[in-house]
Chain A
Amino acid sequence: MRPNIRTEADRSPEFASWITSLPGAEKIRECMHCGLCSASCPLFAYMDHSPRQLMHLGREGFRDDVLGSFTIWLCTSCYQCTVECPRQIPVTEIMYALKRRAIEEKVYTKHLPIPVLAREFRRMVTDRGRISESWLVMKLLLKTGVHRMFGMVELGWDLVRTGRFSLRKETIRERGDLARMLEAVGSDGEAVS
C-alpha cells in the first residue's frame, strides 16, 4: 500500500498539462468538487478513487496515482457523469484518454481482463473487420485465467442451446482496404512524446 502522503516530487507537471490539454478537459480546472460524477456513477462502489478525485489527481499531475487507478478500467462509458457535470467536464472521454495512455505506457495490472479485452478486440477487428463474439470471449478467458471458464460452463451451454454461440469467424470482404485505412489515418500523437 502506498503511504497516504505525496510530495511535490510525486507530481508530474507534464501529466497535468497533458490531461488538461485533452479536448474539453481544460474544464477540469473549473471543477468545484460537487461530487455529481461520483454519486451518479454506477460503478463507483468498486472504485479506488472516485471520478471526482481522479479528475483532481490528474489536474494536479499525480500521474502514477491516476494511471495506476482501478477506476479508469471500471468505466463502462455510460456517460452519466458527462451528462450531469455542472462544469461540463467530459469525464467519460477523459477516461478513454487515460485508458489509452495507460495501455501505451503499459501501466496496469497484468491480468486485468479489461485491457486484455481491448487488445484482443483490436487485434480481431484489425485482422478481420468484425468481431466474432464467441472467439473473443474464449481468447479473453484463455489470457486471463482458464479457471474463470468453469464458472461459465452453464451459461455457455445455454448460449449454444439457443443458437447464440457461433463458431463462425466473421469477416469483411475488403480486408485490405480496412488495413490500408488504419495505416493511412496515422497515429494519434495525443500522448506526449
Chain B
Amino acid sequence: MTESEGKPKVAFYWCASCGGCEEAVVDLAEGILDVVGAVDIVMWPVAMDFKRADVEAMPDGSILASFINGAIRTTEQEEMASLLRRKSQLVIAFGACSQLGGIPGLANLFDREGIYQAAYLESPSTENPGGTLPRLRSRENGYELSLPGFYETVRSLGQVIDVDYAIPGCAPHPTVIQSAVATLLSGELPPKGTVLAPDQALCEECPRRESKPLDLSISEFKRPHEVLIDEETCLLAQGLVCLGPATRAGCGAACVCGNMPCSGCSGPTSRVLDHGGKAISGIASLIGADDEETIDAVLEGIPDPVGTFYRYGLPASLLRRKTLS
C-alpha cells in the first residue's frame, strides 16, 4: 500500500443512483469523523469541489480506494468509473445499484426508446410540446452542447470495470459500512471479490426466526398493504413474500424490524448464482398446491414477479434484462 502524503487518498463517486448511498455515508454521524480523519478525500462531488481534471492529473494507482455507488447507465458514468479504476488501488462497489444494478436496473425491462418515450414524451408531468429528445450534440446560441450517451442497458459496476469489493444494501446499513471500512483499514484484506458483509442469510439475524413453522405451506400470497401484519410471526408464514431466506444478512433485519418483509436489497450470499432464482426456488416450493390451476391461482398473489424477485438485481442476474426484439 503506497501512501503519498501520509494519509491514504480516498474517492467517492456517484453514478446512476438516488443519492441514498451518499446519505448513508453522512448517516454514519460521528462515525464519519473517524473516517474523514483517517483519510484524505480527493474526489467527492456531493460534498467537495474536485474536478475530473484533478483526478486525471493524479498518477495511476495513487488513490487507495474509490467508493463508487450507482449503476452504469451513461457513457459518462462509464468513463468516470474507468478513470477512477485506473487511479485507484481498490475499487469498492458501494450499495445495491453499484453491486447489482439496483432499482435503476429495473429499466432493463424496457428498451431505450421506450424509456425516452415515457420520460420525455408520455409521462403526465412532462411538458415537451416540441417533442425534444436528448441528443448527443446540439447547438444553442452558437455553442455546441453535448450530452453523455444513454445506454440501452443498465449495468452493475462490476460489469463495466474490475471491482475489488462490494458493500451491499440499499442503502448500506451503517454497521455494514463501519465494519467494511474497518476491514479495509485493518490492512488484512480479504480475498478479492468479497462482499463485505456477513455471508449468511438474513434469517440468521431475524428476530422472528423462531416463529417460522417447520411445516410451512403457503396457500395465498399477500402484499403488505392488503393485510394487518402481525409483528411477531415470521412474515413468510403470514403469506408475505419475504426474501430473507435468500438474502444476505448484515442490516440487522431492518425492514422486518419495521414490520415489512425483506425485499432483498443486500443481494444473495456467495453461494448463490442468481438471487431471484434462488428466492423463486425456495418460495415457490412452499406453495401448498399440487396441480397447475391451484398453483397458478396462488401465484396470482405475486402480480409482478420480476419486480418482486429482482427488485435490486436485474442487471446482475443471469438473464440481465428483457430480451430486445
**A–B direct touch, CB within 8 Å, in complex?**
no
